[in-house]
Amino acid sequence: MNIHRFQNTQELNEAGAGIIAGLVQLQPRVVLGLATGGTPVGIYEELVKAYRKGRISFKGVTSFNLDEYVGLPEGHPESYRSYMNHHLFNHVDLPPAQAHIPNANAADPAAECLNYDRLLDEAKQIDLQILGLGHNGHIGFNEPDHSLVSGTHLVELKPATREANARFFNSPDEVPTHALTMGVGTILKAKTILLVVRGADKAEIVHQALTGPITTELPASLLQTHPHLVVLLDAEAGRYFE
Active site residues: 67, 136, 138, 143
d(CA 129, CA 232): 13
Please give the single-letter amino acid code of residue 2.
Answer: N
Please check whether residue 138 is in contact with residue 219, taking contact to mean a CB–CB distance below 8 angstroms: yes
Please list the helix, strand and coil fractions of the chain in percent, rounded to the nearest 5, in that order. 40, 20, 40
Indicate the SS3 state at residue 239.
Answer: helix
Please list the residues that pair with 34 across neighbouring strands: 65
d(CA 188, CA 127): 11
Please give the single-letter amino acid code of residue 110.
Answer: A
Going by DSSP bridges, is the β-strand pair 31-34/128-131 parallel, antiparallel, or unpaired? parallel
Q: How many CB atoms lie under 10 A from the CB of residue 137?
A: 24
- Per DSSP (E only), the strands in 170-214 are 178-181, 192-197
